[in-house]
Amino acid sequence: MTESDHRASDHRVSSAPQPQFLVEPWCVREPELRLDRLAQSESVFALSNGHLGLRGNLDEGEPHGLPGTYLNSFYERRPLPQAEVAYGVPETGQTVINVTNGKVIRLLVDDEPLDVRYGRVHFHERLLDMRAGTLSRDVEWTSPAGRRVKVTSTRMVSLSQRAVAAICYEVEAVDDPVRIVLQSELVANEALPDLGKDPRASAMLEQPLISEEHMSNGHRVVLVHRTRESGLRMAAGMSHEVTCPDAADHALESLPDIGRLTVATRLKPGERLRIIKYMAYGWSSQRSRSALNDQVVGALAAARQTGWEGLLKEQREFLDEFWEGADVEVDGDAEVQQAVRFALFHILQSGARAERRMIPAKGLTGPGYDGHSFWDTETFVMPVLTYTYPHAVADALSWRHMTLPLARERAGQLGLSGVAFPWRTIRGQECSGYWPAGTAAFHINADIADAVVRYLDATQDERFEREVGLEILVETARLWRGLGHHDVEGVFRIDGVTGPDEYTAIVDNNVYTNLMARRNLCEAADTAMRHPDVADRLGVTTEEAASWRDAADRMRIPYDERLGVHPQCDGFTDHARWDFAATKPDQYPLLLNVPYFDLYRKQVVKQADLVLALHLCGENFTPEQKARDFAYYEALTVRDSSLSAQTQAVVAAECGHLELAHDYLGETALMDLHDLNRNTRDGLHIASLAGAWTALVAGFGGMRATRGDLRFAPRLPGGISRLAFRMRYRGNLIKVTVTGETATYELLDGPGLVLAHHGTEFHLEKDPVERDIAQEPAPAPPCQPTGREPIPRRMDPHDRSRRRVR
């Protein structure tokens, strides 16, 4: 299986399936249970805090699309078989595993198990509340024997108590007295479904956990397991509070792979049995069984002391503070309004309590991409967190810093200086088995450095700069200085690399890579100058820093004078164009239906590459160059990746194509709520979700931030009448409100700062500042490859040319 098989086989369909969730501003509501879409809803309804993740499986455990409980960075090793032995290609991979499941609460009604596939479901609704941080469920069900019950449950993964999750489960008799048996379980080594041949699916490992200890004591059960190959140890525990109107029998037991509390009672019509289930999880590669057991017991004790209502209160307070600095309001497009809050909620969940662990491409919502972290995190997810919840960025980048020894070892293996961060990983080792789209994609090193620079600019966190940031910048600069070379004319070249577009591999002077490397080199030199004592400890000499500046000053940036555009890399615009008219819809994604050889030698773009440079390195292009470059690459980009639409939205908006930008916003924002790529079952596309915020704030808000210069150039499409967003920058909390004619800037907290509106600076203090937005004529719309146009968000009756079935 190739690297691109894992990463690029996302593909759109011309008409999305009918959405299964109601459109509401602050929640995601599923008004009926759809068993054919169960796996998608499990991903959408996943709860996490960055340390612990629970897929939105039904309480009973069955039926399920894909069961899942995950601990960040808890993985198993597996072999990476290669067709041919090659030096430097990894032989071992890492796969996130489904750990002990504590979500299961089975219910028997007069000996009949509650199973939605049997009996009669009168009502079934689930609701993800993005302000409360909870998943609730209401069910009314009649058993095959005619006994009717109501069940309500509320589930949470605590954002305030990192190791803790909790469930409140209630069952009520409706028409007749019933005998109720409730079984609350911890289950290890669950049987997983066969996911077929989908290359995006995780490499599932059967029976990955070996029992080391199991114990039950009073109201508590704890199971301790370790992995067979990676040697990681985990513990899971549960504790309960049971309330019922009459006497109930209790039985608590533990076995190597299961812990169970059984409660039996009788309920009269209108009476309820209520159980509060507290769960706690911990893992370590070093701590002993007894230490992990004690950690879980302690977490359970803290949860019980806080209580269910206390946990809910802490959760709401945490989220209230987050939304105060992160909320986005969208008038005119209700689907996007819901989607951007859904996106922000899941992005927060992916990193809020990761605490020096990675942020995977799927977060902790599913096993897709084997649970790996890629460049997605630094390039697409961290910008959102930098301006809304920067603490999580510091943690995630600190994890990268902790893996520097492994990255340094990898660079040495490749014969390079500095560090070579892995293309895909869980623990820090390279896990990409396809080197043209993995090892050769060296731009990930500049992406990580850029995330460091962006965080430092937004927070002015000097301690982080000295202890973490500078070393990352120095070691990545050393990589670029050794990877590139000065040619006979003194121009600095970076040859034989792969940029973001994996349909154009092993190329010379990829523009995006070279521009990001240039920034990396300059920032490393500047930061070393600010902290000479740290730089000296890292062995940075004056001559070395000067060589970085020289390489940056002489960096080759290809330009095609004949066409008046920047080629994606040397020679790209000389290649033959892909024959899009002859490509059938079912041939997308191309990488699964045509040879790589053909892709690599044609002008066809998998995802934004040169256009990503227009966004992230926009200061290197004139407005005229951006317009020409964007139009040229629009006609070549097929978006066989969920990462592309957000970048195209931002640059489309900057170039004046506001309606097209709105279309791309819809694609990135609704990727999972509408299951556009038909693979949300494997987990959410966290980077694509981040694109909802990016397309709105950087696209229609025109937000750019560099070295203390925070500027905006807002303009709205016809389908959005008002946009308001909040963001944090250098100790300030600001709110920007945009309508069709004006933009209003408010300082909600902080000392004040200088902003720019469409190039004109002003000082924002306690009084709001309102500025007019000049109206500009829309340029001629660019063309996309045949059949690859985004689905329109707004239909113009005078322009039928862009109408498509939605």
* pLDDT tens by residue, 121-167: 999 999 999 999 999 999 999 999 999 999 999 999 999 999 999 99
* Separation of alpha carbons 314 and 327, rounded Å: 19
Q: Cα Rg for the chain, rounded, in angstroms?
A: 27
Strand stretches in 467-620, DSSP E: 485-486, 492-493, 576-577, 602-603
DSSP label at residue 627: H
pLDDT at 16: 45
Element housing 545 (H / E): helix 542-553
Residue 646, annotated as binding a ligand:
no
Which phi and psi angles does 724 have, rounded to 5°? Answer: -135, 135
Element housing 43 (H / E): helix 38-44
Q: Strand 753-757 to strand 709-712: parallel, antiparallel, or no bridges (unpaired)?
A: parallel
pLDDT at 6: 41
* Separation of alpha carbons 307 and 302, rounded Å: 9
Whole-number average pLDDT of the chain: 94
Element housing 614 (H / E): helix 610-616
Residue 365: how many other CB atoms lie within 10 Å: 30
Show the DSSP H helices in 247-389 as ranges: 289-326, 334-351, 376, 382-388
Q: Name the band, by pLDDT with cuts 50, 70 and 90, for residue 18.
A: low
Q: Name the band, by pLDDT with cuts 50, 70 and 90, for residue 219.
A: confident
Residue 626, annotated as binding a ligand:
no
pLDDT at 763: 98
- Measured in whole angstroms, the distance separating CA 637 from the mean position of its chain's CA atoms is 23
* Separation of alpha carbons 334 and 325, rounded Å: 21
Q: Percentage of the chain with pLDDT > 90?
A: 90
Q: Is the pLDDT of residue 17 over 70?
A: no
Supply 714's token pair.
Answer: 């807002």
Q: Is the pLDDT of residue 190 over 90?
A: yes
Active site residue 502: yes
Q: Which of 42, 172, 314, 502 is catalytic?
A: 502
Q: Is the pLDDT of residue 747 over 50?
A: yes
Asked if 333 contacts 164 with a C-beta cutoff of 8 angstroms, the reply is: no
179-180-186 Cα angle (round to 5): 155
Q: Who's near 632: CB < 8 A, 6+ residues apart?
A: 563, 565
Residue 40, annotated as binding a ligand:
no
303-304-307 Cα angle (round to 5): 85
80-85-88 Cα angle (round to 5): 75
| 497 residue type, one letter | V
Q: Is the pLDDT of residue 509 over 70?
A: yes
pLDDT at 463: 98
Asked if 234 contacts 99 with a C-beta cutoff of 8 angstroms, the reply is: yes
pLDDT at 163: 98
pLDDT at 149: 98
pLDDT at 19: 67
pLDDT tens, residue by residue, 665-696: 999 999 999 999 999 999 999 999 999 999 99
Element housing 623 (H / E): helix 623-634
Q: Name the band, by pLDDT with cuts 50, 70 and 90, for residue 622.
A: very high
Supply 205's token pair.
Answer: 């490992």
pLDDT tens, residue by residue, 763-796: 999 999 999 999 899 999 999 999 999 999 975 5
pLDDT at 196: 55
Q: Name the band, by pLDDT with cuts 50, 70 and 90, for residue 195.
A: low
Mean pLDDT over 61-74 rounds to 97
Sign (positive/negative) of CA torsion 457, 463, 464, 470?
positive
Q: Is the pLDDT of residue 802 over 90?
A: no
pLDDT tens, residue by residue, 459-508: 999 999 999 999 999 999 999 999 999 999 999 999 999 999 999 999 99
Cis omega (within 30 of 0) for bond into 199: no
Q: In Å, what is the CA distance from 351 to each residue of 162, 274, 400, 686?
A: 11, 32, 14, 11
Q: Who's near 739: CB < 8 A, 6+ residues apart?
A: 716, 721, 722
Q: Name the band, by pLDDT with cuts 50, 70 and 90, for residue 599.
A: very high
Asked if 723 contacts 700 with a C-beta cutoff of 8 angstroms, the reply is: yes
Q: Is the pLDDT of residue 182 over 60?
A: yes
pLDDT at 248: 87
| Separation of first and last alpha carbons in the chain | 33
pLDDT tens, residue by residue, 689-733: 999 999 999 999 999 999 999 999 999 999 999 999 999 999 999
Domains of the chain, with CATH numbers? Answer: 32-324 (2.70.98.40), 327-700 (1.50.10.10), 701-775 (2.60.420.10)
Residue 606, annotated as binding a ligand:
yes
Asked if 616 contacts 450 with a C-beta cutoff of 8 angstroms, the reply is: yes
Q: Who's near 797: CB < 8 A, 6+ residues apart?
A: none
| 624 residue type, one letter | E
Q: Is 304 helix (H, G, I), strand (E, B) or coil?
A: helix
Q: Percentage of the chain with pLDDT > 70?
A: 95
pLDDT at 85: 78
Q: In Å, what is the CA distance from 142 to each residue of 113, 148, 271?
A: 11, 4, 16
* Separation of alpha carbons 591 and 502, rounded Å: 9
Q: Is the pLDDT of residue 11 over 60?
A: no
pLDDT tens, residue by residue, 316-344: 999 999 999 999 999 999 999 999 999 99
* Separation of alpha carbons 90 and 113, rounded Å: 47
* Separation of alpha carbons 728 and 749, rounded Å: 9
Q: In Å, what is the CA distance from 730 to each residue of 455, 531, 613, 705?
A: 10, 20, 25, 11
pLDDT at 2: 38
Burial string for 226-265 (b: 16+ CB within 10 Å, else e) reads: bbeebebbbbbbbbbebebeeebeeebebebbbbbbbbbb
Which phi and psi angles does 295 have, rounded to 5°? Answer: -60, -45
Q: Is the pLDDT of residue 7 over 50?
A: no
What is the DSSP code string of 561-605? TTTTB--SSTTGGGSEEP-STT--GGG-SGGGTS-HHHHHTEE-B
Q: Is the pLDDT of residue 804 over 80?
A: no
Asked if 448 contacts 472 with a C-beta cutoff of 8 angstroms, the reply is: yes
Burial string for 127-151 (b: 16+ CB within 10 Å, else e) reads: bbbbebbbbbbebbbbbeeebbbbb
Asked if 104 contacts 55 with a C-beta cutoff of 8 angstroms, the reply is: no
Range with lowest mean pLDDT among 15-24, 299-308, 400-409: 15-24
